[in-house]
Chains A and B, each alone.
Chain A
Amino acid sequence: MNCHEFRGIADSYLSNELSVEGNHEIILHVDLCPSCRIELSARRELRSILRNAFVNAPQNQVRQNFARELSTQLRENVHANHPASQGPVPLNVIGRAWLAVAACLILAAVIGVVMFRELVLTPEKTVATQSVGGELIESAVGDHKNCAIKFRLAEKPVDLEIAGRQFDSVYINLKNSILSQQENLPVDAQFVEAHSCVYEGRRFAHVVFKYHGRLVSVLVTNASGIGAGSDRKPATPVQSSVIASSQTDGFQVAGFETVRHAIFVVSDLSEAENLALARALAPVLLEHISHNESST
C-alpha cells in the first residue's frame, strides 16, 4: 500500500468499514510510514474532538424530566390498548365466550350446511370457508399474536409491494385497495400498517388496524392445495359474503375465501365487532384478490 492509497481509505478505516485484510494493510503501512501515522492520528483526533463537542454542547443536553415523561406516556399508550385496563369483564361477555367455544366444536358441520344453502340457493354468492380448516385458522391466529401483538417473528416482515413481486401478486396494491374503502369501515377503525410476514412457514399479507383500542389483523394467504378443488367457483364481488366466524385461543376469527386464497380478520374484539369489520372489508378484498387471480 502506498501513501496515496492509504489516504484514500483512512476514513473508512476510522469508521470500521474495512475488511480484516484492509485493516491489516492500514496498520502495516502506518507502522512503516511516519507521515501517514501522523495523518491517521490527526483524523482520529478530529473525530474525537467533534464527538466530544457535539455530545457535551449545552444545547444538546436533553431536559432532565423529558425522558421520564416520555417513558410514562409511551407505556400508558401500550396499556391503554388492552382490555385489562378497562375493569372486570361483564358476565354477558363471559357467557358469549363459552358459546363461541361451543361454536368452534361444530364449525365444520355448520359451514357445510351454510355452504349447501349458499351454493344451491344463491350460487352467485361467495363460496364459504368450507376448505379453510383449523390449520389455516390457527396459523392466522398465530401470526396475529406473534406479529401484530408480540412483534416476534423469526423472519423479518417485508414490504407488501416487494412481497407481491416476489411471492404472490395479490399483495400488490392490496393495501391501497383496502384503504380506498376506508369510508365503508367503522368510524374509529384506524389503519396501522401493512407488510408481508411468515408464521411457521406460511406467508401472509398482513394489514393491521386499530379498532376500539384493539389491534385487528387482516390476513391473506394462498390456500391452494388445502381443500382447493377444480370445481370451485370463482368469487364474484357481492354486497354480502358468506363469512364463517369462530374463536380460537381467545381470538375472534372471521374467514372467507376465493379460488386460491383465504382471508381472515383476527382480533380480540367481540364476535359482533370482528364480524362487522370482516363484512365491511370482504367486498373490496374479494374483488381485488379475485381480479388478480383471474388475470394470472
Chain B
Amino acid sequence: MLGRTANRETQQRGDDRWASFESEAMPHIASLFRVANWLTRDRSEAEDLVQETLTEALTSFHRFVLGTNCRAWLIAIMYHRQSKRRRTNMHLHLVSDPQERILETLIYEPSTPQDVTDEEVLQALERLPRSYQEVVTLADVEEMSYKEIAIALDIPVGTVMSRLSRGRKLLRVELASYAQARGFARRLTADSEGEGIRHELP
C-alpha cells in the first residue's frame, strides 16, 4: 500500500510538473521556431533546435521564476544550445567597420517607405551585419528587453543598445534604397510607355 501511494504521489508530481511547463513554455513554440529558423537557416534543423531547447527547458524548469518572461528564458536556452553546436560562429566581435563610421556621422534618416513588401523587408534585414540582425530581430520581432537580449547573446547591455540603434538606422537606409530603386523602375516603365524619354535619377 505504501508503495502504491508513493507511486500515485510521484505520478501526481509528474502531472503537476508537466501542467506547469505546458502552460508556461509550450505556447511559445511558434516564436521559438521563428528564431531557430533564423539561426539555422534550415527548417529541419530549426525543428531539432526547438526540440532540444524545450527538452533542456523541461529539465531545468525549476530554474525558471514564474511570472518572468518565459519566452526570453527559452530563447536564451536556445542560443546557449546553438552556441554548443556552432561554437566558432557565436563568438562575434565588432571589428572596425566603415559602415559603422558612416552611421556615426549619418545625419539623414530616411522615412520608412510605405510600399515595401514583406519580402523586401526581410531581404533588407538580411543585408545587415549579422550582429545587428540578431539584436534587431530579438528586440523588434520577439520584443525582448535589452537585459534579456544581453543575457541571451552574452553581451553587455550597452552593446545591445548601440547595435540596436545602428541596426535600425541601417535597416531604414536599406529600405529606402529599395523604395528608391522601385521609384526609378516605375519612372522608367512610365517613360517607355509614354513619350520614350528616360530620366536618369541621381
Contacts and interface: CB of A to CB of B under 8 A. Distances in A.
Contacts of A63: 43, 47
A77 B145 CA distance: 32
B143 to A, nearest CB: 8
A66 B54 CA distance: 13
A24 interface: no
Contacts of A53: 118-119, 121-122
B3 A89 contact: yes
Interface residues of A, number: 63
Interface in B5-63: 5-11, 13-14, 16-18, 20-22, 26, 29-30, 33-34, 37-38, 43, 47, 50-51, 54-55, 58-63
A67 B26 contact: yes
Nearest to A147: B62
B155 to A, nearest CB: 16
Interface in A166-184: none
A263 to B, nearest CB: 21
A50 interface: yes
A156 B65 contact: yes
B50 A70 contact: yes
Interface string A139-159: 000000101111111001100
Contacts, number: 160
Given A15-B164, A70-B50, A74-B54, A250 B171 contact: no
A268 B22 contact: no
A93 B17 contact: no
Contacts of B175: 46
Interface of A: 11-12, 15-17, 38-39, 42-43, 45-47, 49-57, 59-63, 66-67, 70-71, 73-75, 77-79, 81-85, 88-89, 93-94, 97-98, 101, 145, 147-153, 156-157, 192-193, 195, 250, 268
Interface of B: 1-11, 13-14, 16-18, 20-22, 26, 29-30, 33-34, 37-38, 43, 47, 50-51, 54-55, 58-65, 109, 111-112, 116, 118-119, 121-122, 125, 136-137, 139-141, 143, 145-146, 161, 164-165, 168, 171-172, 175
